[in-house]
Each structure stands twice: as C-alpha cells, then as structure tokens.
Amino acid sequence: GAGVSQTPSNKVTEKGKYVELRCDPISGHTALYWYRQSLGQGPEFLIYFQGTGAADDSGLPNDRFFAVRPEGSVSTLKIQRTERGDSAVYLCASSLTKSADTQYFGPGTRLTVL
Amino acid sequence: GQQLNQSPQSMFIQEGEDVSMNCTSSSIFNTWLWYKQDPGEGPVLLIALYKAGELTSNGRLTAQFGITRKDSFLNISASIPSDVGIYFCAGQKSGNTPLVFGKGTRLSVIA
C-alpha cells in the first residue's frame, strides 16, 4: 500500500511569505506527526494529532506555525511570515493509533526561505 | 529542543567491517528506537526496544536498551555498501509523548 506522502517535495519562498505544506498519511492511521529537520540535525517534534485534534502542539516554535487536520486524514502545516531560520526539511509521520505505535515517515518537504 | 547525544558523528569503514554507534541521554526513556535515513527520504525504523536490558537483532543489526534507560547502542556486522546513510537514535518517555532524536551518525562504507 501507499506510504506517507508529502507535497510539495521542495518549496522556495521569500521572507515574509505564507506557505502551506501538505501531508497524506497512510490510510487508516489515526495518529499524525510533524517534525522539522535542520541541516545536520535529527528531526525535532512540532505537533501530534490524534484524529482531528492536536493532542500535543508543544513543539511548535511560535505562533507563526499552525497545523490542521480537519477530517482526521490529510494534514496541512501552515507557516506565516516566513523567516530565513524556518528553512529546513519538514517531515510528516503517521502511526496506526497512538504515538507508541511505529511511526512511518514521509520523504519530507524541503523549505527554503530566501 | 532536547536532542539525544549520539556518537560518533561520522564513520568511514571498509566493507565487511563491524560498526558500533551509541546514544546517551541525561534523562530516562522507556522506549529506544533506531532509524536509518537515506538522502531525500524520511527515516525508516530499523529496531525498536521496549525493555531495559533488551537486546534485539534485525538481520545484521543488533541493538541494546541500556540498563539505566539512559543509553542504547546499535551494532552493524559485516557492513555492505548499502549500509551507507545516516543512523538516528530516538527515545520516547511514554506512549503518548513525542520522539526525541539524536543528531545522527553518518556512515560511509568503502568498498
């Protein structure tokens, strides 16, 4: 079956612009996670959804970052007023029911803020 | 944010050699995981460890969950060229808490 997919694979934007990154989890997976991976670093947790609700958003760095999952499947990570420091690979993962289950990662979206 | 201490940062080895890398933390984790990431891809789970002292193998890979719950190691035996990539450890404190990752060990295999 299909794995986690993310679009776009690459996004280049200018400082101050708004961007949306999309994640399609594995069908039937109720838990969804967003991570950010800077160059030379491991992934860092941003937010975790259980169904439609954000169960843990403690990793969001500030209020410019927001994520939704309105129907409990596809999720969108939204970044307002982008800054150069937002440049990173944004990874999405899903797991069957809860975060203790194996998390399957997508290929990521590489965001570059000029 | 918090990251685990992973070493070595990078390794260059000859094909056929064994490899060992480890991960430490100042706090306890109840689950330890090892992932491999290839360029342009997301991390792929290699081994999951759920019990202190547990030793688990997956083919040529063996990982152990430290007794103190503050460390883990990963061994790769008889390395092959396709072992090239970045290996990440990750810890999880409980079933509904986020994964915390190390900075990775970049493995290069010389044929």
Under 8 Å between Cβ of B62 and B77: yes
> For residue A83, is it left (φ>0), alpha (ψ between -120 and 50) or beta?
beta
The verdict on a CB contact (< 8 Å) between B98 and A98 is: no
pLDDT of residue A39: 92
pLDDT of residue A100: 66
Residue A1 above 60 pLDDT? no
With bands split at pLDDT 50, 70 and 90, how would you rate the model's confidence at A99?
Answer: low
**CB contacts, 8 Å: A103 with chain B:** 45, 99
SS3 A104: strand
C-alpha span between B83 and B7 (Å, rounded): 17
DSSP A26: P
Mutate to test the interface with B, among A6, A32, A41 (most CBs of B within 10 A): A41
pLDDT of residue A101: 76
Residue ranges of E strands in A1-114:
5-7, 10-13, 19-24, 31-37, 44-50, 53-56, 65-68, 75-79, 88-95, 104-105, 109-113
Residue B1 above 70 pLDDT? no
pLDDT of residue A19: 98
